[in-house]
Amino acid sequence: MRPCRMPHGSFNQRSCTESVHSEFQLRYPTIQRQPRFGVNTLSNLSARLATPEVMLSESSTALFVRASLAIQPGSQLRLTTGSFGLGAFAGTVVVSSSVPLSITATIADAGGNFDSVGPAVNSSALIVPFARGTSGAMDVTMFNAELTSTAAVITAVGADGQGVGSVQRVIPGLGTITENVDGLFPQPTFGAPRAISHLVIRTISNVFGSDKRVFVQATIDNFGSDTEGVVGAHFDPAIVTAIPTSSGTSSATVPFFVQGGDYATMVQLINTTATPGSATLTAIGLDGSPIGAANNPATVEIPANGAFSRGAQNLFNFPSTIVVGSISVQSTVSVVTTTALASVAQNGVVLIPTAEAPNTNFVFRTKAANPSLFTGFSFSNPGDSTAHLTIRNVPDDGSGVSLMSLTVAPLSSIRRNLAELLPEARTGGCIHISSDVPVVASAIEGKSDNSVLANLPAMHSQPDYVPPSPTRFLITGNVKHNGLPFTALNVSVTGTVNATVSTDAAGNFLFENVPQGNYTLRPQAAGFTFTPSSIAVTISSESNRGNNFAAALVTPTITVVQSASVQVGSPATDLFVVGSPLIPTSEIVFDGTPIPTTTLSLSVPVTVAGATGGTITVLQVQPALKATIPASAIAVARTTSFVLRNSGPGGDVSSAARTFVVGGPAPVLTSVTGVPNPLLIGNPGFTIFVNGTGFSQSTVVQVNGNSISTDFVSGVQLRAAVPPQFLADGGVLSLTAINPAPTVGPSNALTVPLFNPIPGLTSISPNSVAVRLDPNALPLPVTVKGFGFRQDAVVQIDGVDVPTEFHSTIELLASVPQAQLEVGRIIIVKVKNPAPTLGTSEAMPLSLFNLIPTVTSLDVSQLMYDATPRFKDDKPKFPAQIVIRGTNFAKSGGFYLYSTPCDADAGGFSGERISSTMLIGQINIACTGTYSIGAGNPQPGGGVSGILTFDVVPLTVPSNPVTIAVGAVDGLAPATIAKGSDSFTLTIVGSNFVPGVVVNFGTAVLFPTSVTSNTIVVTVPGYLVKRADIYPVSVTNPNVSGNSNRILFKVSEPN
């Protein structure tokens, strides 16, 4: 088992195997003994259990710690100094394992700066690129993995290949030393400063002994090169990789560069040979084609043992845009290529080595999600076949969470943010990338504001590693506004499940644990539209990604302003604006400058449809904005404007401008004289005198907002001529006065009614019509003729306006609704001109006459009369219900005709009109014979219908009639009871009772509890005897024997 030794700073990660030494030194040379120095991530990307031994060695304190660990197959283990019980550590970490491991260390300081490195490579001759930049300061750390000491010569080399100076240092066995470059090679006190391009570190070996090898990494602070576009010192420390001189190559690729915007790239080529050479650098775009630039490709010369360093802008002369891509390097000699990527506005800087050889799998460590951090990936396909990538999110425990697919076209590249690729990757773990053809993958990480940039070394899984299958399905997407993330936006999903989530800082949204099914996605934000408005999604066997929406602001409109003017010199003034849409970012921009704006509710006048037609103005409470105009903005008289502006993440949009006047005061009107009384339409014009205050030589009187000829009389009076064109139509004249602009507006208004004339009425047609009894009848058209009719004049029927068509000044057409034509009478017809008017016309009558009714049939059941008295001196009679059918039954005032074949006890018909074709009533039957009945309508019009008859026949008594005994006990026991008694049992004695017989107690029907042929027992409920009265009692058999005679039951007052 061989050890993996890991000093900080290496970007070239190597797997720990039995034949490879790899080392991290967990020490930040410029910030010693800081407890937040970093995290080691040990990744077991194999199918075997790993049991590595981790050794921590610190030379300065002779600290030596060993620990044995267990890492499950496919999982990761994160170690800090706390994992070993240490509060701080500055030394070397050595990891020994029989199972291949991949290791990444993230080194951080107390200021929040960090960089990530992989295991370093040991060699007897190494190059440290970008030894100090122009303004930087470098610390070089060397580790001796041998038990005996090793001597190393550090040579500072200029860009011309000439040595600036050399020093020798002895590194103890298993020791670590750190040297400052400025301390090793101090600048001269006088003369030009010495420019150091790179360092060469060589070990001294005895010809009779084995080669001495060391591990070297370095840290550079305050990196900068003003002439090459990396302006100013960058405080974000960058770890510099020491590269064996044998690693030089004549062909290399810079995997990722950005030039323009907030980014600047600087390229360094170091000649590892003693022969001068040249190199051709070609900037390649994401589509695989050379980027259009004035000097692309660029050919440069590299001195023997020297270097070429140049900013990408100076090298290629790109256009003034953001350029993203890779750089191909072809040289005539072996060179080491390193790229510095720096933020222009912030302190972030990172050193990027050349790309690894293409591979079919890559693994990158990920951190727990943090909105202030980013992780960016570059995927390049150098081959001629399309690459199909499967990208998995794997937590530290090795379980599968989710995956997504990505296609990279031949000879092209793709750049993606982790939050865009896998927004669900929120916990620490790794991203596993597999491809069906070899590709190149690289990554950088840092803070989202570019104040920190860091390299993220690539790792690789072992051949026996099987990536885990996803355990859940997701729906992801992004919302942008003009290309910028739309954060905190609600996105809803409907379907098998319904849910709503908010977008994160990158504009991404994520629905987790989504079951299979069909769904619809919709973003929701007031004041925005989205393209597309919705997206249909199907989840079957994998997650659904790339559901992206573009947001656009709706242009706002202003509907109400209170008020649009202010007197010059006023103090700070509130401006109230009603408009739509109003959103949280809505603000008022006054005279080109945003002013403090708040949201509130405001009652504003709104015109709505009236219940009876036309429109009415009502007050409605609506959302509004209140903006305070500062006094300084209204100190000078002028006409300016303001807009309602809504903002989004990617910009803003404003309403049409509204005029705002900062002006002198308005006049005040108190009275007007000279107006004819009454003032009728058609007046030829007249002169008025307007009285008030605040008049000037240029004050103008206005009628309904229109200026008229005005003479200045004095500061308190104006004379004006009202021309006839304002007097043609009735209405209300609004008189105002306005001073010359700029002014806050017209004065208060004085109103003068302009009366329409009283119309005259000469005829109506028709003037006599029959009532309209059918509720579905059409309105009656009535032509009204006369004179003086105005547009919008209305006809009145009995003082009620009816729909009216204006034909001319002498003719109107009224439509009288059926509801006003149901009752015969004399209708009063008048005409009223629109207000203001002096009155209505004279009246004309419209005769509405009733029709003659007809009767067509009687609905009456077969009636039989039983003349048998029910008790002493009884004269039997009963009411019979009759339905009379016919036509033209008047709605009111109808009467009935009837005759009976017997005395006055019969007849007495009373009825109710149901409709114009039906009457329902009842008539008393007191004898047998023929009864006659008819109907009549009252005047005007009206008349009597024909007569219909019906017969009443004698009651036919069955051979065995049902009877109740009449005698001393009257067949009832008891025969009387006190009012308010409880329920009681009533026994009825009689004859011919049969099963199914019912008892008629008053109007109630009771069912017996016991029945024999001559006795009935029934329970009478207490509620039937609540009132003192006489109640008839009879029984009814279900057969032809019918009803019995009636016996009276008395409910008496209690004693």
Report pLDDT digits (tens) over 372-389.
999 999 999 999 999 999
Q: What is the mean pLDDT of the chain?
A: 88
Residue 363 has pLDDT above 90, yes or no: yes
Residue 947, domain member (yes or no): yes
pLDDT at 57: 76
Residue owning tokens 């040297």 = 179
Residue at a domain's end among 553, 586, 612: 553
Question: Tens digits of per-residue pLDDT, 780-811?
Answer: 999 999 999 999 999 999 999 999 999 999 99
> Per-residue pLDDT averaged across 821-834, rounded?
94
Please check whether residues 789 and 825 belong to one and the same domain: yes
Contact, 145 vs 215, CB < 8 A?
Answer: yes
- Which tokens sit at 625? 């904005």
Q: What is the pLDDT of residue 813?
A: 96
pLDDT at 436 over 90: yes
Please compute the mean of the pLDDT values over residues 734-761 and round it to a whole number: 93
Within 8 A by CB and 6+ apart from 959, the residues are none
Residues 6+ apart with CB under 8 A from 1046: 870, 871, 964, 1032, 1033, 1034
pLDDT band at 84 (very low <50, low <70, confident <90, very high): confident
| Residue 879 confidence (pLDDT) above 90 | no
Q: How far is CA 113 from CA 167, 349, 862, 1043, in A?
A: 31, 11, 110, 110
Confidence of residue 132 (pLDDT cuts 50, 70, 90): low
Average of pLDDT values for 297-321? 95
Range scoring the smallest mean pLDDT among 63-72, 187-196, 312-321, 440-449 = 187-196
Q: What confidence tier does 712 reach under pLDDT thresholds 50, 70, 90?
A: very high
652 and 686 fall within a common domain: no
In this predicted structure, what is the pLDDT of residue 887? 94
Report whether pLDDT(279) > 60: yes
pLDDT of residue 14: 31
Mean pLDDT of 198-211: 85
Tell whether 1040 and 988 lie within a shared domain. Answer: yes
CB burial of 646-676 (b: ≥16 within 10 Å; e: otherwise) equals bbbbbeebbbeebebbbbbebbebeebeebe
Please state, for a pLDDT cut of 90, what percent of the chain lies above it: 61
Q: What is the mean pLDDT of residues 69-80?
A: 92
Least confident span in 615-629, 759-773, 967-981: 967-981
The reply to whether 576 and 609 lie within a common domain is yes
By three-state DSSP, how is residue 684 classified?
coil
With CA atoms as reference, report the closest residue to 958 among 922, 998, 991, 915: 991
Tell me which amino acid residue 221 is.
D
- Domain identity same for 561 and 654: yes
The beta strands (E) that lie in 235-322 are given as 238-241, 243-244, 249-259, 263-271, 277-285, 298-302, 307-311
Q: What is the pLDDT of residue 970?
A: 52
699/785 same-domain check: no
Q: Is residue 353 part of a domain?
A: no
The model's confidence at residue 285, banded by pLDDT at 50, 70 and 90, is: very high
Specify the pLDDT at position 38: 65
Among 107-116, 292-301, 845-854, which is the least confidently predicted range? Answer: 107-116
pLDDT at 724: 95
The residue among 849, 868, 891 that closes a domain is: 849
* pLDDT value at residue 259: 94
Instruction: Identify the pLDDT of residue 870.
Output: 66
Q: Indicate whether 652 belongs to any domain.
A: yes
Return the higher-pLDDT residue of 220 and 29: 220
pLDDT at 134: 59
pLDDT score recorded for residue 64: 72
Give me the percent of the chain exceeding a pLDDT of 70: 93
**pLDDT value at residue 13:** 30
User: Do 527 and 515 fall within a single domain?
Assistant: yes
Model pLDDT, residue 963: 67
Provide the β-strand partners of residue 309. 268
Residue-level pLDDT at 646: 97
| Maximal C-alpha separation, the chain | 160
CB neighbours of residue 1000 within 10 Å: 17
Query: What is the mean pLDDT of the segment spanning 264-277?
Result: 96
Both structure tokens of 915: 């409709």
Lookup result for tokens 């240092």: 169
Residue 111: pLDDT band with limits 50, 70, 90: confident
Domain count across the chain:
6
Q: Cα separation of 929 and 790, whole Å?
A: 68
pLDDT at 358: 95
The reply to whether 768 falls in a domain is yes
Q: How far apart are the first and last CA of the chain?
A: 122
Distance CA 168, CA 200 (A): 12
3-class secondary-structure state, position 797? strand
Count CA within 13 A, CB hemisphere, residue 558. 25
Residue 221 placed within a domain: no
Look at residue 924 and tell me if it is in a domain: yes
Q: Do residues 871 and 917 both lie within one domain?
A: yes
- Distance in angstroms (rounded) separating the CA atoms of residues 115 and 340: 14
Phi, psi angle pair for 965, to nearest 5°: -60, 140
Q: In this structure, are 561 and 659 located in the same domain? A: yes
581-614 pLDDT, tens per residue? 999 999 999 999 999 999 999 988 888 777 667 7
Q: How far is CA 190 from CA 163, 167, 218, 975, in A?
A: 19, 22, 28, 145
Residue at 333 is within a domain:
no
Instruction: Name all contacts of 396-400 with Cβ < 8 Å and 24+ positions apart.
Output: 396/75, 396/76, 396/77, 396/78, 396/427, 396/428, 396/429, 396/430, 397/72, 397/75, 398/72, 398/73, 398/74, 398/75, 398/76, 398/468, 399/468, 399/471, 400/467, 400/468, 400/469, 400/470, 400/471
Same domain for 539 and 610, yes or no, is no
Q: Are residues 569 and 645 in the same domain?
A: yes
Domain boundary among 809, 824, 849: 849
Instruction: Compute the distance between CA of residue 305 and CA of residue 717 in angstroms, rounded to an integer.
Output: 100
Please give the pLDDT value at position 61: 58
Q: How far apart are CA 836 and CA 838, in angstroms?
A: 7
Average pLDDT over residues 951-956: 82
- Summarize the confidence of residues 205-232 as an average pLDDT: 86
Determine the pLDDT at residue 8: 38
CA distance 951 to 224: 125
Q: Are residues 859 and 950 in the same domain?
A: yes
CB 864 within 8 A of CB 958: no
Query: Model-level pTM?
Result: 0.58
Q: Report pLDDT for 5.
A: 42
pLDDT of residue 541: 79
564: domain CATH number is 2.60.40.10
Residue 398 belongs to some domain of the structure: no
CA-based nearest residue to 240, from 345, 372, 142, 370: 142
> For residue 512, is pLDDT > 60?
yes
What range defines the domain where residue 573 resides? 557-663
Whether 527 has a pLDDT exceeding 90, the answer reads yes
pLDDT of 17: 30
